[in-house]
Every structure is written in C-alpha cells, then in structure tokens.
Structure 1
Amino acid sequence: MFSVLQQVIYKYKHYSFIKHVIIIVLIIFTYFGYRIYVWANTQSTDNAYIDADISNISAEVSGVLTKLFVTNNTRVNKGELIGEIDDRDYKARLAALDAAIQACIKNIEIIEQKISIGKMRLEQVAEKLKLTKISFDIISIDFTRVQALSNAKFVSSKTLDDSKNEYQKVKTEYKQAQLDLDISKHNLQLLELEKSAAQEKLKELTENKKITLRSLQNTKIIAMVPGIFSNSNLAVGNYIVMGKALFSIVQDNTMYIKANFKETQIKNFKSGMKVKIVFDAFPTKVIYGKIRNIAPATGAKFSLIPPDNATGNFTKIVQRVSVLIDFVSPNANLVPGMSARVSIRTDQST
C-alpha cells in the first residue's frame, strides 16, 4: 500500500514538472515571437536630426549701429527692439522733404489763384469780343451801305472816308479782341500744365517722404518672430550693410525631426503614425512623436546637380526620402541639429 502511494506521488510530480516546463517554453516562444514580429514591422534609422524654423534677419537700411539691446542665445519676443542704426541722415532727409512738400503746396496754391484770375480774365475778354463783334457787324453793314451810296454819287468822298476809317478801327479792335481771347486761353492752358507738373512733383515728393519715413523706421532693428536670438556678431559701431544677414532667431515651438529613411523602408508609412525617438544626447530617454508628412521626392532630386543615370556608368544606390516628424511632447533641452534614432511601427493604425 505504501509503495503504491509512492508511485502515485512520483507520477504526479513528474507531470507537474513537465507542465511547468511547457509553460516556460510557451512563454519564451511567445516573447521571442513577439519580438520578432515587432522587429519585422519596425523601420528605424539613425540618419535623423532636429530641425526648426530659423529666421535669418537682415537690415533694410545701411548705417552705423549705435545701440544693441540683446546678446546671443537670449529669448526675444515678437516686436522686441534688438538694436538701432544711426538715423541722423534719414531725419535730415525727412526734414528737407517736408520743406520741399510745403513749398510745393504753396506753389500749387499760387498757381490755382492765377488760374482763377485767368478764368475771370478769359470771361472778360470773351465778353469784350462779343461786344466788339456786334459793333464790327454793325459798322460793316454801315460801311457797305455808304460804299453803295458813294458809287451812286449820293454821298461825298469825306463821308466814305469817315465810314471807312471807322470800319478799319472797329475791325482792328475786333481782331485784337480775338487775339486777346487766344492769348488768355493759351495762358490758362500753360497755368493748368504748370499746376499738373507741380502736382506730379508733390506726388513724387510725398512718395519719397513715405520711403524715407519707412527707412527711418527701419533704423530700429526689430525681432519679427519670437524665439532665441543667436548667430550674431553685432557690436556697437559696426557698419550695417542693407540686405546682409545680421543674426538668426530660432522660432519658438517649431522644432521637428527630419528623418531620412531608405526608399525601401517607407512603403507603409502614413501621416499621423506614432514614432519612437531616442537622442544621442539622452540615450536612456525615449521621446515620442508622429509623422507630419513624407517628402514628395528623394533628397537626390532636390540636390544642386541631380544625378543623371542615363549617362556614364550606372551604380545603383539606395535613395533616401525625408520624413518630417512632429514632437508629441518636446523636451526643453533639445536644440536644432541634435542627432537622433527614430523607430516607426508600420503595423499601427493612424
């Protein structure tokens, strides 16, 4: 009886051991199977780095830098004053333009007064011409009548001469009135042209004033975007050249990852996919992001001299495609240019 009991206990222990072994083997297979599945559905690259929107600021006017309020690697707000360029020349130019504009306005007022007088003069001359023509018409008729009577011997030669003299006098006055009218019209036209020229000059001076005023305003160097002021060699006394880059501003909240994957890796990539990021600077810390978009062409096609495989010997090279990745929760210690390793699970749903 005792020996039978020993056999049962031994058999039970033997089956229990096998059961535990099977469970352990299943766990190991499950673990490594999952790891293999994850590995097969994960694409990674260490050709990745942080990028950001960086504004390179240049001056819109030239001159000597007289004031500088910001130093490298400090935060600036949008509209914050960075420095000032010597504005004395621009102020002097603005004052000269103001004086020229006032003189031009005064000249236009004088011309307009002359035009008003000229119009009154024209009305008077036109009225005089009208009256002179009436007199001329009457005298012409009278002179024609006297000529007819003289031919018929009904009037004396003296009467004819008097009538003729009167006719010549009125005729001269009539022609003079016509000439005066033409001169008045011509003078009025000249005044109108002079006014138009003065108005064009005023318009030109006003535009020059706007440009000079803008130049004066641009002597103040302003931060156009918020961010970190950097890459500056500015110092008081430097001569600033218009259009030359003075400094850079790394814009706030614009950092992203630019990962260059092989063309064979991006088949199943989609916008919105979750991305695992590990930076060389923080190898034990994992940061997450998501795919923003995928470049429409390989990096080689955007190069200065794209490759032409139709000429010469051909060596096939796996191309790289840029994938932009946004941070889900960016780290304050990250800066543009840092290298990273990114991994993307291609079996995930977006």
Structure 2
Amino acid sequence: MTPQDSPHETSLARRLIVGGTVALAILVISVWFIAPGSVSTNDAQIDGHIHPINARVSGTITWVNPVVDDTHFVKAGTILARLDPNDYEPTVDRLQGDVQSTEAQLEAAKLNVQISEATSVSRLSAARAAVEEAQAEKATAEAQSLAAAASVAQANAVYRRAEDDRKRYFALVESHEISRSEYDQRATEAATAEAQMKQAEANLSAARQHIASAEQRITERKGDVLAAETAPQQIATARTNVQRVDADLRKARATLKDATLNLSYTEIVAPVDGVIGRKQIEMGQRIGAGQLVLTLSPPNEVWAIANFKETQLEHLKVGQNASIHIDSSGEDLQGTVESVGGATGAKYSLIPPENATGNYVKVVQRIPVRVSILPEYKHAPLIPGMSVEVRVDTRRSGSR
C-alpha cells in the first residue's frame, strides 16, 4: 500500500476480488448441474453373432453327433453330422480317372513337341540328301541307258552282218559250193549275234526302267523335302495341341476339385465355438443344399445395443464410458460407446412408417447405439437377447 492509496480504495478492491471469485464459482456450479452428466435407457439388450449352419450339399443324414443338441456347447471343428457319401464318391472316382487320362495325354503331347523339334532339322537334311541321291541314281541310269543303247546299235550291226553271212552261206551250201560245216559256223555266229543283240536290248530296257524308277524316287524325295520344310508349322500345331490338352486338364482338375469339395461337404462341421440352438436335423432325414440345420452362438462375442431417444444424443459421442446393468444377475459391467446407428429403429423395421399419408403424430424416435463390453467383463454369462440397462457418462470418454 502506497502512501497515496486511501483506506476506502483498498477495501473496494478487496470486495471486487471476492465478488468475482464467488460469481465464477456460482457459474461453474450452475454449468455442472445444468449440463447433463449422463444419459441412460432401459430399452437395451445384449446382442451377438448367431451363425446359421446350413447344409452345403443335399443328401441323407447317416450320423448325428451325440453332443449336438440345443443349449450344448461345441468347439470349432467338431463334426456335427454326416451325410451319405455314396451320392458323391462315384463322381469323384470317375473324375480322378479323367484327370489321370488327360495328364497322360498332356505328357504325350509335350513329348511330341520335343520329338518334332529334335527331328525337324535332321528330317529336312535327310530328305534333301535323299533327293540328291535319287538324282545321282537317275544320272547313273541315264549313262547306263546311253551305253546300253550304243551296245544295242553295235549288237544290231553285228547281228545284221552275221545274218547276211548266214544267208549267203546258206545259198552256197544249197548249191554245194561250200561244205555244211562252214555254213553251220556262220549260222552259229548269226545266232550268237542275235542273242547278244537281244541281251543289249534287254539291258537298254532295264536302264530305261531304272531311269523311270529314279525319277519316281526323286519325286517322292522332293515330297519329303516339302513335308520336312513344314516342320515349323508342325511344331506350332504340336504346341497348340499341348495348350489344348493343358486347358482340358485344368478343366478336369477344376471339376474334380468341385466334386471333392461336395464330398467333403457331406461332413457338417462347426466353424466356430458356440452354443447350439434351433437344431433341425435327425438320423435318416433328407436335407437339401442350403437348408438350415442349426445355429451357433459364440458366448464371448457379445455387445450391448442401447436404443436411446433422439433427444438424448446431443452430448453422446463415440468413445464415452458406459455402464451396463444386467437385469438377470444385477451385475454392472463397464464398456465404451463403439458406434451410433445410421438410422432410427423405425427405419430398420421391415415395414417403416409412412408419415406422408393420414394424420401425423410426432413420436420421439430411438436410435441404436452399440456399446462394447470391456474384455475383463466378458467372463459374465451374457446371452444375446438378455435385457440390460445402459448408462453413458457424457462428461468423460476413453479408458477408465
């Protein structure tokens, strides 16, 4: 306090400070009591997954697991029932044979490609060599033909001379100018010359036939060359055949897989742990594909659905802490707001109200809010459909 401050001014300042503090306290208390601290509803229940177990194939039930009955608990993987496999095993056996046959065809087609690729070059070389060989044979045959033709001409000349001598000597022997032995010698020479001429003609004919044969072989070998030159097309065709057989094999395997799956579906297996409900199967019963046989409710996969009035959602947010009171046991569980529904319960109903016709009465709508249960509280015996009361603390959020 300075000498200039008067006692009156100091007292006024103190009163202002105290008054401001009291006003601030009154404001905080008013906000605390006026603002809603929580919202609650008794329109709530436990919800959870209910798995419908349907038959995936049709058949006759030949066995039902003795543990399968309403309210009984089963583990995932438990065989619930079996259908008669005789409806599906023959198909699997037949398709296995089809797959094995197609696999053998595919191996043969692949081997054919390898053979075609390996022999294409050698076949072409061999065919061309065969053409050259046939052409050489033809040239030899033509040379032999020319030699044979010359021999024929020579033998023919010798024969004509010998025959002329024979005829002349025949006239002389008839006139007794020469002896019979001289004529016989000329006759023998003429016969020999005739034989040599016929042999030369036969050689000429054989040479000409050899030429014709060589020409025929040349034509054939040229055909082999043309066939060998189509080896790339043959290889492409063989590869296309491999692709076709491979496609047939994939198709056969897919069909076999489908049949094998159908056979495996004759065992109805529990996909999850759960409590059985709505059992609808018995021994000897004929069921169809897609038919409901029972339901499974996992005991620990539960949450609460609280239907709050729309007027209660102003301060309700995802992540806020919630208390769940179980009507059956009186136990209080803790959880958090997980999500708020995207529409009112009336909109989710099978026949939503139509307010565009008739007299309209305004009704406060309810919106479903999902509340997750904290893991440490899931030991409680909670069953989907149980009635609960839910209270949400709208002032705090997050973990407790």
**Is this contact kept in 2: 1:275–1:342, CA < 8 A?**
yes
Match of 1:95 among 77, 93, 96: 93
Match of 1:58 among 54, 63, 78: 54
Change (3 A) 1:326 1:166: closer
CA distance in 2, matches of 1:109, 1:274: 68
Aligned residues: 303
> What is the match of residue 362 of structure 2?
316
Change (3 A) 1:87 1:306: same
Point out the structure with the larger helix share.
Answer: 2
Instruction: Say which SS state the counterpart of residue 322 (structure 1) adopts.
Output: strand
Q: Could you list the per-position Cα deviations for residues 164-203 of structure 1 after superposition, in whole angstroms to 9, with x for gaps in the alignment?
A: 9689546524543345437877776665555444333222
How far is 1:78 from its partner? Answer: 1.5
How far is 1:53 from its partner? Answer: 1.2
Match of 2:387 among 326, 339, 348: 339
Task: Name the % identity.
Answer: 26
Instruction: Say which SS state the counterpart of residue 272 (structure 2) adopts.
Output: coil
Change (3 A) 1:130 1:308: farther
How far is 1:259 from its partner? Answer: 0.7
> What is the match of residue 21 of structure 1?
none
> What is the match of residue 49 of structure 1?
45
Q: Could you list the per-position Cα deviations for residues 82-107 of structure 1 after superposition, in whole angstroms to 9, with x for gaps in the alignment?
A: 11111123222222222222233334
> What is the match of residue 322 of structure 2?
275
Change (3 A) 1:75 1:122: same
CA distance in 1, matches of 2:304, 2:113: 72
TM-score, structure 1 normalization: 0.69
**Is this contact kept in 2: 1:135–1:170, CA < 8 A?**
no
Change (3 A) 1:175 1:67: same
1:240 aligns with 2:324: no
1:177 aligns with 2:250: no
* TM-align CA RMSD: 4.2
Instruction: Say which SS state the counterpart of residue 262 (structure 2) adopts.
Output: helix
Q: Could you list the per-position Cα deviations for residues 194-240 of structure 1 after superposition, in whole angstroms to 9, with x for gaps in the alignment?
A: 54443332222222222222222222111111121212111111223
CA distance in 1, matches of 2:232, 2:328: 87
TM-score, structure 2 normalization: 0.62
Change (3 A) 1:40 1:271: closer
Match of 1:104 among 102, 105, 110: 102
Is there any run of 5+ residues in structure 2 with no aligned partner, and where? 1-28, 141-204
CA distance in 1, matches of 2:397, 2:110: 79
1:294 aligns with 2:290: no
**Is this contact kept in 2: 1:44–1:341, CA < 8 A?**
yes
Match of 1:84 among 79, 82, 97: 82
Change (3 A) 1:120 1:333: closer
Change (3 A) 1:212 1:164: closer
More off after superposition, 186-195 vs 39-48: 186-195
Structure (1 or 2) with the larger CA radius of gyration: 2
Change (3 A) 1:183 1:72: same
> What is the match of residue 310 of structure 2?
263
> What is the match of residue 20 of structure 1?
none
Is there any run of 5+ residues in structure 1 with no aligned partner, and where? 1-32, 143-157
Change (3 A) 1:99 1:164: closer
CA distance in 1, matches of 2:209, 2:78: 94
Q: Could you list the per-position Cα deviations for residues 25-52 of structure 1 after superposition, in whole angstroms to 9, with x for gaps in the alignment?
A: xxxxxxxx99x95995342222111111
How far is 1:74 from its partner? Answer: 0.9
CA distance in 2, matches of 1:139, 1:313: 115
Aligned amino acid, residue 87 of structure 1: P
Match of 1:203 among 240, 250, 268: 250
